[in-house]
C-alpha cells in the first residue's frame, strides 16, 4: 500500500511520501536508544511539564489537525475536533496522575519480616524503546493513548502509523519536538508494513503495541514472541448491545444509533450486534431503523454531516460483500444497504440495519467496519448472553436494563473487556481499555495501561 493521503470523500490522491530507507530507519533507532539512556533518568515533574506543554501545542493546533484527520480518513469534522480535544485531555490526565500511578508498592509489614527483609518495595522502571503500530480510524487518539503514558513512564516511542494517514503521523512526531521533548523521544517512521518485522527484531526495541486488525496483531505477536518481547494488542470487535424488557427503549434506540455510526461506523468499540428481547424488539427495531435512516450522509467537512465516507475503497467493498452475503442468505434490510445516490465520487455507504441475521451469514461472525448494524430477537437473558458471546471477539459490551439481576449476570458472564450499562462504550484516560479472545490482550489507559511497559522491579533490603 503506498504511503499517501487520499481524500476518501473524493478519491483524489493529495500527497504521496517516500518510505524511509534502511539508513533512515537506522538513524531513528540509534537516536531513540541514545535518548532513552538519558530520558529514563528524568523525574515526573520534568515529564509532566513536557506533556502539559504538548497538550497546549495541540490545543493551539486543534482546528488544523482536525481538518487534516478529516481529509485523510473522512470522519466528520466535528468528530475530528472532539478527538483532538480528547487527546489533550488525556495528556493532561497522565501528566497529573502518572507519579501516583507508578508510586512504589510496599507489602504488608508481616510479609516483609517473613521474607527476611527490613524493607521491600516494588518499583516501576521504564522498559525502553517501544514500537507503536497504529491504525487510521482514530489517527490521533490511538497514538496519544499510547504515547502519553509511555512517555510519562520514561519510555521513548517509535510510531509506525497506517499508510493512509501519513500527514497525521508526521504531525505527531513534530508535536512532541515542538513541546520541548529531547530529540528521539517520539519519532514517526514512514515505513510500509513489510518493514515492521525488522524494526521489531532490532535489539534496541524493547516492546511493541498494536491497534489494528486481527491478522496484523497475529503477525506482530508472532515476531515479538520469537524475540521474547512484550506486546499489547487491541484488535477487532463485534460488540453486543443487549436490550432487555425493563430498558428505556426510546433512549436505548437513540444511543444505539450513535453507538453504531460513531466515526462513520469504523470503530472497534462501536456497538455492532443489537440483541433485543422479544418484548421490546418491535419498538426498538422501528425506532433504531428510523434513527439510522434519518442520518445525514455527505461531505465530512460540512458541519451537520452525521456520516462521512469509509476511509478506503477496499473498506467499502468489504462492507458491501458482508451485506450482500447476508441478503443472499435471507436477511432483511430495514434501511440502507446501498451506496447513497449523488455521492458517487467518494467511498460512501448508507447507514444500514439488517434483521433476521443467522449463523449462515458471514456478518454474524465477521466485524462490520462501517455503518452497518445487525439485529437479533431473543426470548430471554440466557439467550441474549449466549448470542452476545457467539463471536470470536470480546472487546466491550453494552447492556440496557433497570434490573440489578440482569447487570450482575452480564458482568459475570459476558466475554468482554467492558460492560457498559445504560450507555455506550467509550474510552476515557482513567478507565482500563482492552479485550479478550481475538480482540487482543493487555490494557491501555488508566494505571493498568501505564504499567504495561514498565519493568516491575522487586527491591529487597536487609539492614
The three cell numbers of residue 455 are 519493568
Q: How far apart are CA 266 and CA 260, in angstroms?
A: 9
Task: Give the chain's largest Cα–Cα span.
Answer: 79
DSSP classification of residue 105:
B
Q: How far apart are CA 269 and CA 397, in angstroms?
A: 8
- Asked about 268 being catalytic, the answer comes back as yes
177 close to 183: Cβ distance less than 8 angstroms:
yes
DSSP classification of residue 181:
P
The three cell numbers of residue 350 are 448508507
The three cell numbers of residue 70 are 478529516
The three cell numbers of residue 299 are 461531505
356 close to 331: Cβ distance less than 8 angstroms:
yes
- DSSP for 340-397, written as a single string: PTT-TTTT----EEEES--TTSGGGTS---SSEEEEEEESSHHHHHHHHT-SSEES--
Q: Is 179 left (phi over 0), alpha (psi -120 to 50) or beta?
A: alpha
Residues whose CB falls within 8 Å of the CB of residue 143, separated by 6 or more in sequence, listed in order: 132, 134, 159, 161, 172
Q: How far apart are CA 449 and CA 130, in angstroms?
A: 13
68 to 93, 173, 308: CA distances (angstroms): 25, 15, 15
293 close to 59: Cβ distance less than 8 angstroms:
no
Identify the CA nearest to 349 among candidates 270, 292, 271.
292
Catalytic residue from among 31, 83, 234, 367: 234
- Asked about 335 being catalytic, the answer comes back as no
Catalytic residue from among 268, 335, 410, 454: 268
Residues whose CB falls within 8 Å of the CB of residue 179, separated by 6 or more in sequence, listed in order: 50, 51, 53, 54, 56, 57
438 close to 280: Cβ distance less than 8 angstroms:
no
Residues whose CB falls within 8 Å of the CB of residue 38, separated by 6 or more in sequence, listed in order: 182
Residues whose CB falls within 8 Å of the CB of residue 114, separated by 6 or more in sequence, listed in order: none
Kindly list the catalytic residues: 234, 268
Amino acid at each position: 500500500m503506498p504511503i499517501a493521503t487520499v481524500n476518501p470523500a473524493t478519491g483524489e490522491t493529495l500527497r504521496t511520501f517516500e518510505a524511509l530507507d534502511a539508513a533512515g530507519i537506522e538513524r531513528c533507532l540509534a537516536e531513540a536508544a541514545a535518548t532513552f539512556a538519558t530520558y529514563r533518568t528524568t523525574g515526573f515533574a520534568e515529564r509532566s511539564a513536557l506533556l502539559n506543554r504538548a497538550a497546549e501545542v495541540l490545543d493551539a493546533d486543534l482546528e488544523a489537525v482536525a481538518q487534516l484527520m478529516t481529509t485523510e480518513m473522512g470522519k466528520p469534522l466535528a468528530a475530528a475536533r472532539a478527538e483532538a480535544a480528547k487527546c489533550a485531555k488525556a495528556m493532561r490526565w497522565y501528566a497529573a496522575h502518572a507519579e501516583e500511578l507508578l508510586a512504589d508498592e510496599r507489602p504488608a509489614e508481616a510479609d516483609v519480616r517473613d521474607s527476611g527483609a527490613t524493607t521491600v518495595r516494588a518499583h516501576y522502571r521504564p522498559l525502553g524503546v517501544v514500537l507503536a503500530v497504529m491504525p487510521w480510524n482514530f489517527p490521533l487518539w490511538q497514538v496519544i493513548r499510547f504515547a502519553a503514558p509511555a512517555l510519562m513512564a520514561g519510555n521513548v516511542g517509535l510510531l509506525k502509523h497506517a499508510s493512509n494517514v501519513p500527514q497525521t503521523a508526521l504531525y505527531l512526531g513534530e508535536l512532541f519536538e515542538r513541546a520541548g521533548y529531547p530529540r528521539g523521544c517520539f519519532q514517526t517512521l514512514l515505513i510500509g508494513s513489510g518493514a515492521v518485522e525488522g524494526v521489531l527484531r532490532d535489539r534496541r526495541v524493547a516492546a511493541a503495541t498494536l491497534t489494528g486488525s486481527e491478522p496484523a496483531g497475529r503477525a506482530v505477536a508472532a515476531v515479538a514472541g520469537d524475540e521474547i518481547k512484550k506486546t499489547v494488542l487491541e484488535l477487532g470487535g463485534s460488540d453486543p448491545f443487549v436490550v432487555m424488557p425493563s430498558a428505556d427503549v426510546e433512549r436505548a434506540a437513540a444511543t444505539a444509533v450513535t453507538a453504531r455510526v460513531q466515526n462513520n461506523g469504523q470503530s472497534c468499540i462501536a456497538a455492532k450486534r443489537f440483541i433485543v428481547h422479544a418484548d421490546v424488539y418491535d419498538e426498538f427495531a422501528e425506532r433504531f431503523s428510523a434513527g439510522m435512516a434519518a442520518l445525514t450522509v455527505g461531505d465530512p467537512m460540512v458541519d451537520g454531516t452525521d456520516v462521512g465516507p469509509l476511509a478506503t475503497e477496499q473498506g467499502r467493498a468489504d462492507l458491501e460483500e458482508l451485506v450482500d452475503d447476508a441478503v443472499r442468505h435471507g436477511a432483511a434490510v430495514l434501511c440502507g444497504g446501498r451506496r447513497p445516490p449523488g455521492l458517487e465520487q467518494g467511498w460512501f455507504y448508507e447507514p444500514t440495519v439488517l434483521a433476521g441475521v443467522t449463523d449462515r451469514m458471514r456478518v454474524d461472525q465477521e466485524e462490520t467496519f462501517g455503518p452497518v448494524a445487525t439485529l437479533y430477537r431473543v426470548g430471554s437473558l440466557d439467550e441474549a448472553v449466549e448470542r452476545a458471546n457467539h463471536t470470536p471477539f470480546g472487546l466491550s459490551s453494552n447492556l440496557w436494563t433497570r434490573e440489578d439481576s440482569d447487570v450482575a449476570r452480564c458482568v459475570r458472564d459476558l466475554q468482554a473487556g467492558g460492560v457498559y450499562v445504560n450507555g455506550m462504550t467509550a474510552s476515557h484516560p482513567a478507565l482500563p481499555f482492552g479485550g479478550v479472545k481475538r480482540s487482543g490482550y493487555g490494557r491501555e489507559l488508566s494505571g493498568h495501561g501505564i504499567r504495561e511497559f514498565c519493568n516491575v522491579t522487586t527491591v529487597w533490603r536487609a539492614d
